[in-house]
Amino acid sequence: MTKKYHQHRFEVPRGAVDVIFIRHGETIAAEPGKLFPMKDGHGDPPLHERGEAQAVAVGLRLKDEHFDALYVTSLQRTHQTMAPLAAHKGMIPAEDADMREICLGDWDGGLYRIKSAEGAPEFQQAKAEQEWGHIPGAETTAQLHARVKRGLNRLLESHADQRVAFVVHGGVIGAIMSIATGCQPFAMIGASNGSIHNVVITPERYFVRSFNDCNHL
């Protein structure tokens, strides 16, 4: 009998953690002269009603999936986005502050949205050089990547051979994808609110299985 060789089928390696990253739902709009609530130096706006609907859609999409743990960041928009899925699963999310959004310094609290929409010179320089540190008082791209990498390593240490879901932020997803693939820091910035991303983390490397999945939205 002739031996047959079928195409490779991906399997999560032993010792890896299989992570479903979710970008939080859309938050309320920024308004000139009115800061978002702040938490630990970060703008902490709640979800807009569209974001609440996106959170419900995420919960319905993933409710029949197996997860060993659920995670959120320290900011309320991730808690609100995870709430429907956590209710379906009967699980309480853990919090990891290292995976919170980029610290935008003087532009945190909603001003970043206004400055970027206006095309402020600092924003244009940050975008051109892929360096968050050009925004006044913001953390640098290297600082962001360092703490996100700590968070990723902690997931691997705590959840080897497990599957977890983690609601994070758009800038953090961009950092994860840059760390995982070696692409430029801003190459994968701009994931959609409520989008789903799958990354498998091993001690040796990362496997990006999906990016910006919005089929449920």
Q: Identify whether 12 is part of a domain.
A: no
Return the CATH number at 174: 3.40.50.1240
DSSP 211: E
Please report which confidence band the pLDDT of residue 40 belongs to, taking 50, 70 and 90 as the band edges. Answer: confident
State mean pLDDT over 88-110: 96
H/E stretch holding 172 reads helix 170-181
State mean pLDDT over 184-204: 97
Sign of the CA dihedral with 51 first, then 52, 57, and 63 last: positive
Dihedral angle over CA of 144, 148, 150, 154, nearest 10: 160
Domain containing 128 equals 17-213
Is the pLDDT at 52 greater than 90? The verdict is yes
Q: Identify whether 66 is part of a domain.
A: yes
Q: What's the distance, CA 161 to chain centroid?
A: 21
Tokens linked to 109: 């609290």
16 touches 159 (CB < 8 A):
no
State mean pLDDT over 149-169: 98
Residue 147 is predicted with a pLDDT of: 97
Tens-place pLDDT, residues 101-123: 999 999 999 999 999 999 999 99
Domain count, the chain: 1
Residue 1 is predicted with a pLDDT of: 82
Global pTM reads 0.95
Bridging pattern class, strands 196-201 and 162-168: unpaired
Q: Identify whether 32 is part of a domain.
A: yes
